[in-house]
Each structure stands twice: as C-alpha cells, then as structure tokens.
Amino acid sequence: MSIKLIDLHFMGRAESVAVFIMETPEGPILFETGPHSCLPKLEEGLANLGYRASDIKHVFLTHIHLDHAGAAWYFAEQGATIYVHAKGEKHLVDPSKLIHSATKIYGGQMDLLWGQIKPIPASQLVIADHQESFTIYGQTIRALFSPGHAVHHIAWHTPYGVVCGDVAGIRMKGGPAFPPCPPPDINFEHWRESLDILIAESPEVLYISHFGIFDDAIKHLKDLKSEIDVWEEFTYGLFQQNSDPTKSVFAFGDWLEKRVSQLVTSEEVIEKYSVANPPWISILGIFRYYAKRG
C-alpha cells in the first residue's frame, strides 16, 4: 500500500499539477481531482492503476481552488463522497462566487483552463474540522486545518505522510519551496502558523500538488517558512511605496526571477516556477493581504 502520484499534464505541461491516490486492498482513495479540463488525463492515470472513475468512492480535497478541486463534482456524480473544510463547502454547493473570483483573474481563459464547473449536492459533502479523523478502508486520514494560502485549507495526514495541497508551497524538482499567493485569502501570519502545525506532526513525506513527492519534509517546511519571510520583507517594501499591485508587477516579477535564479540553475526548472506561480497573480494576493491587514 502506498500513495501514488498522477500527473495531470495541465495545459499539456508535465510536472505542473498532480493528484494523489492511496491504494488499499478495499479500494482507492483520491486526494484532489485537479481541474475538470484534465479529467481525460486523470481517467487515464486511474486506468493505468486499474481503476475507473466510478471506483472512487472517497475524495479528499485540500482546498477548492479549481486546479485542485475543479473536477470534484464529476466524482460526486459518480457517487463519491467529498471531504472538505466547512469554509469551502458552500462554494462547492454553489460555485457562483468561486467562478466569479476566478473569472476576475483568468477572464476569457476560464473554460480552457478549468473546463466545466458544476454544483455538488450537500448530501455528498463531508465537512472536516481540524484534527478530525476519518477511517476509510482501514486507513486513518486526519485533517490539519492550515489556512494562509486559502482560508479553508486542509492538509491531510495519512499513514504515508501529509498530502499538502498548497500550504507547503510549490516545489519543482531540484528547486526550492515557494509560496503560491493568488487572491483572495493570502495571509502570511496564518501561513507560518500552519507550517508550524505541519512541522509539529513530524511527517516524513510530503505530497505536493505542484509538484511531487518529497522525503525531506521538515527541511522543506522550515525552508518555506523562511522563504515567506523573504517574500514578505520585499513585497511589503513595494506595498509601502505604492499600494496599487499593478504598479509593482514588474518590480516583483524581476525580483522573483532573480530569487529563483539564485536558488536554481536549470533554465527548464526556472521556467516551471514562473508558470506554476505567475508573479502577476501572486502580487494581487499579497497586496490584498496587506491592504486588509492595514
């Protein structure tokens, strides 16, 4: 038994968006679904392991961002139970707000990027609270409420390590852990506290959506905490000069490119960082946090 990664080849790119599947003698358990636009790739990945979508009876979501949960409705239609934090539940039952806030960022690209978005009946959703455990097919899966990237974020502690969603950042092979900062929920203070919660769990393995399975868990989590400090110091300086994020996109983009190149040598990996965590999106999320914080 183990947890395996399925690469969804998001927008045709390898090693960009992953979902994870825990195989047990009684059946598979899916963590994240990815976007609906990647469903063919997900079904292909499931078929390679010997499953059909209708074999998935349990889906654990870390958060409801469309690159993580956009196809959850499809598995619900096949009869699956979907596990999510209370603050995410209402957006699955009625995705209109979610669509509205994603459209503000992605505009006319919505369909291409994410595919279809449909509501999920509340009767198929299970709300998970911090430290709540679910035993499925003999496997205990425990919720770690972990806001900072999203207000409704849960990392799932499994017998094989922690499925992190985005709270443990993004990390491309050979590169550092970076915080993805899309609006509207970014909160660095909460994020650091969430990382402390994960560190206290002493996991050995982290499953990271963007992208991979990493076995230097504690170092990774501590590195991300310091990276957030570095990002905050630089971006708060920009914010104090001018609180309009559109005025700082280039300064932040340049800084970020330098920051990645200090830590990574491969051009291919550097490019993966800018695709996985576009500076023009992160600056919106970060400045929104400073504006709310006052």
> 84: which residues sit within 8 A by CB, 6+ positions away?
61, 64, 69, 92, 125, 126, 127, 128, 152, 154
Q: Is residue 65 involved in binding Zn ion (CB under 5 A)?
A: yes
d(CA 238, CA 38): 36
Stretch near Zn ion under the rule CB under 5 A, chosen from 3-11, 65-73, 227-235, 266-274: 65-73
Stretch near Zn ion under the rule CB under 5 A, chosen from 80-88, 162-170, 247-255, 275-283: 162-170
Q: Is residue 7 involved in binding Zn ion (CB under 5 A)?
A: no
CB of 282 to Zn ion, least distance (A): 11
Distances (CA, A) of 65 to 35, 165, 220: 9, 10, 23
d(CA 91, CA 38): 20
CB of 17 to Zn ion, least distance (A): 11
d(CA 56, CA 216): 30
Q: Is residue 166 involved in binding Zn ion (CB under 5 A)?
A: yes
DSSP three-state, residue 103? helix
Q: Which residue's CB is nearer to Zn ion, number 166 or number 223? A: 166
Q: How many residues bind Zn ion (CB under 5 A)?
A: 2
Q: Which residue's CB is nearer to Zn ion, number 6 or number 61? A: 61
Residues numbered 94 to 153 that lie near Zn ion (CB under 5 A) are none
Q: Which residue's CB is nearer to Zn ion, number 181 or number 264? A: 181
Dmax (CA) for the chain in angstroms is: 58
d(CA 155, CA 162): 7
Q: Which residue's CB is nearer to Zn ion, number 197 or number 251? A: 197
How does strand 27-31 pair with strand 18-24? Answer: antiparallel
Q: Which residue's CB is nearer to Zn ion, number 68 or number 142? A: 68
Q: Which residue's CB is nearer to Zn ion, number 21 or number 276? A: 276
Q: Which residue's CB is nearer to Zn ion, number 153 or number 225? A: 153
d(CA 119, CA 121): 7
Stretch near Zn ion under the rule CB under 5 A, chosen from 40-48, 61-69, 120-128, 230-238: 61-69
CB of 209 to Zn ion, least distance (A): 8
The answer to whether residues 242 and 248 touch, using CB atoms and an 8 Å cutoff, is yes
Stretch near Zn ion under the rule CB under 5 A, chosen from 108-116, 134-142, 163-171, 253-261: 163-171
Q: Which residue is nearest to Zn ion (CB)?
A: 65
The answer to whether residues 152 and 87 touch, using CB atoms and an 8 Å cutoff, is yes
User: Where do contacts with Zn ion occur on this chain (CB under 5 A)?
Assistant: 65, 166
